[in-house]
Amino acid sequence: MNYRKYMKVLLCGLLLSGCSKNDASPSVSAKEQKEKETILEDVIEATPAPADTLDGMHQSMKDAGCILGTLFFGFSDSWDYASAMSMLEDNIFSDSFPFLKEIEEDHFVNAGGYMLYLVVPEMDADLTIYSIDENQEHTEELYKNNDGKPVLLVCNEMDEADIEVNVTNTTDSVVFYPLVGDDFRSVLLPDHGVLDFSSTAYYSEAGMQDSLDYMREELRMEESLLGASFLGYVEKASSADIKALLESNYMGMFYPFIYNVDTANYIDAGGYEVYLLVPVSDDTTIAINKIDTDNNVLEVLHRDEYGNPVILVCNEDETPNTVVEVTEGDRTVTFYPMLNQANGSLYLPNGGGVSDYSYSSGANEDAFFLQACFDTLYYEVDEVQQAVAEGKTIEYFDETAVIEDTDCIVFELGTYEGEAFKSEKKYAVTTDSMVVYRLEENGSYTQIYNKYQ
């Protein structure tokens, strides 16, 4: 997802010589396999079972003691019935809940806003949807039914709910205000009565494969052979420590395939930094060598000709102790996993070929918002894209600003002169709605991009 950084890459022709398939990969013991399975089991323990029929979804709700099911689909600045159904057709949920593609237009409620939710009441329960004001008082009844069928709901212009979903049966009642969680995937739930199905598709085998395929599609678009992400630190390279890191990491919320990486592909090079390495296809060869401080190859740690994702533990200090070589066809990319201590990104090869997903995979909410703001600036602002195409670089130096009472992250656009960065322009991006401002010479900020205007 990221597209930067530059480190002088020393090509090592020894990586592919004298190695047969997986000759350096550790064997998988029964204990290691069990640890791998436990990682996945722990992640999905509270996840509702896939429900490929409406009756199955209702049964999952009943088993959980709930009278309403929900999930969050995504954002758009313009929803109608056709675009909502298109989202269902192409969404990761289509494999787990294929019956949702049959929702009829009279079960589509557009209350205005940018977020698309699904609400599924218990059979024969009364479902009523109200618009509400800032005091959560009803302003209008938008929808009422008791047929137990799924309803698509568009709502919420801001980060506060403007809709109340009320469900009542003969023994219980639930009031639900649809709001997406900080991970932008799960739904915030009341104390009882509502079951969130959002994680079901992500943690199914199909959902995990979809998330891997999606990353690989991104890599193809960026003409990269490898996706790399810094996941965080561990004290030791045990399955238990890696498991704990994965469970606390934002990466899994968007790319849950990381929970299913085989422990045979947990590579310990010695050190404390943990990286995810994802080759672009099943036809890609990845090789990992341990190196000394002069970049001489000491040992072949791993080699795989089928492009399986790898979790690598390496680096005892700020000097890389591994080199990764990825080959597809007649193209080869060499990458030294190493963290830029100034901004948390990775040092990438000058010639491209590696995409940095580190900000998306940050272990805290701040890292997620930092990536989201960077992506908005990089992809949506024409003058920034033009400047980058001309050789400029976007950097973040831990600077923030408050513009119109809204918190913003400040980025600088400029060039490197040796190791020194020469800033030419500053941009601020709001963390809530991704509005972009440019800092003018007089010290004031001018709004130059707003997705929702």
pLDDT at 287: 97
**What is the pLDDT averaged over residues 85-102?**
80
Closest residue by Cα to residue 164 from 124, 126, 194, 128: 128
Residue 300: strand, helix, or coil: strand
Residue 327: strand, helix, or coil: strand
Contacts 24+ apart (CB under 8 A), 186-193: 186/72, 187/70, 187/71, 187/72, 187/117, 189/70, 192/65, 192/66, 193/65, 193/66, 193/67, 193/68, 193/167
Residue 26: pLDDT band with limits 50, 70, 90: very low
**What's the token pair of residue 84?**
């909502």
Q: Strands across the sheet with 297-304, in order?
A: 297-304, 285-291, 322-328, 331-335
Task: At 221, give phi and psi (nearest 5°).
Answer: -65, -35
CB 105 within 8 A of CB 155: no
pLDDT tens figures, 315-358:
998 899 999 999 999 999 999 999 876 666 788 998 889 999 87
pLDDT at 268: 95
Task: At 33, give phi and psi (nearest 5°).
Answer: -65, -40
Residues constituting the chain: 453
Residue 136: strand, helix, or coil: coil
**What is the pLDDT averaged over residues 65-91?**
86
Residue 204: pLDDT band with limits 50, 70, 90: low
Residue 87 region by backbone torsions, left for phi larger than 0, else alpha for psi between -120 and 50, else beta:
alpha
- What does the alpha-carbon distance between residue 395 and residue 373 come to, in Å, rounded to a whole number? 12
Q: Quick one: how many helices (H) and strands (E) in the chain?
A: 10, 23
Supply the mean pLDDT for the chain: 82
